[in-house]
């Protein structure tokens, strides 16, 4: 009996020691876990979005040719019109040679002076007017940059509308009910042309057409990528999707 009691006490003592050790291990693990520094995840970079609205292409009206007034008459015609007639003087045999030379010199001066005046007036009339220089080189550079961005947007507009036209379908329910209209779709495009989000900017008034316009933009992804001249990532685009029965 004494042996059994001693065995039971030994078992109880070992169990108590095991429980105490387990509690100490758990407390030490909790302390280590609490003091380990946590790695904070980096905040995601906020992308800058740019809003671009694409409109249907329109042809510019043709400008009629401007008729320019005739230029000033030629120098030769002015000389012929204003050149005085020179009379031939036949010297008398009784006049001395020195007198004849003086008369010829005076006559030559009288003829050359009107010709010089006519030549100066013709040169002034034919000289082109001076063109004023631009006020600032910075203004010219900004206009050139705006023209480059505008041309890039126009070219991209043609590519995007042509690409969407391949994926657009006319709903059968809308055809049976003779529904027509234009849906304005707003979507975000990354620099690779992937469509990130699609929403309805303006309804056509017919739900089947609105639903199909949103689905067409999703099916058309990826779109032609935005040109380098257009800033922003992503680029918010508003595109008209037209539905008309032929």
Summarised one tens digit per residue, pLDDT across range 197-215 is 999 999 999 999 999 999 9
SS3 state at 6: helix
Pull the structure tokens for residue 109: 């001066």
d(C-alpha 217, C-alpha 239), whole Å: 10
Give the CA dihedral 132, 134, 136, 139, nearest 10 degrees. 160
Enumerate domains of the chain plus CATH numbers.
149-243 (3.30.1150.10)
Which pLDDT score is estimated for 31? 83
**Phi/psi of residue 115, nearest 5 degrees:** -65, -40
SS3 state at 131: coil
User: Does pLDDT of 122 surpass 60?
Assistant: no
Q: pLDDT band for 86, please (50, 70, 90 cuts).
A: very low
d(C-alpha 149, C-alpha 153), whole Å: 6
CA of 95: how far to CAs of 91, 101, 214, in Å? Answer: 7, 11, 111
Tell which wins on pLDDT, 126 or 138: 138
* Mean pLDDT (whole number) for 218-226: 94
């Amino acid at each position: 009996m004494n042996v059994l009691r001693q065995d039971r006490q030994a078992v109880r003592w070992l169990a108590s020691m095991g429980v105490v050790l387990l509690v100490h291990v758990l407390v030490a693990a909790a302390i280590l876990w609490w003091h380990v520094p946590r790695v904070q995840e980096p905040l995601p970079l906020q992308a800058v979005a740019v809003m671009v609205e694409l409109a249907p292409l329109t042809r510019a009206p043709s400008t009629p040719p401007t008729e320019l007034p005739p230029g000033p008459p030629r120098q030769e015609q002015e000389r012929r019109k204003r050149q005085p007639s020179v009379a031939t003087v036949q010297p008398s045999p009784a006049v001395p040679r020195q007198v004849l030379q003086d008369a010829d010199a005076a006559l030559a001066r009288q003829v050359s002076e009107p010709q010089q005046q006519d030549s100066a007036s013709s040169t002034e009339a034919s000289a082109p007017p001076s063109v004023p220089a631009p006020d600032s080189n910075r203004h010219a550079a900004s206009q050139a940059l705006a023209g480059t961005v505008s041309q890039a947007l126009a070219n991209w507009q043609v590519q995007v509308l042509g690409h969407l036209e391949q994926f657009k379908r006319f709903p059968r329910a809308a055809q049976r009910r003779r529904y027509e209209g234009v849906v304005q779709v707003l979507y975000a495009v990354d620099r690779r042309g992937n469509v990130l989000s699609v929403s309805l900017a303006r309804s056509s008034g017919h739900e089947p057409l609105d639903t199909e316009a949103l689905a067409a933009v999703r099916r058309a992804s990826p779109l032609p990528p935005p040109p380098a001249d257009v800033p922003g990532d992503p680029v918010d685009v508003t595109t008209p999707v037209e539905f008309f029965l032929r």
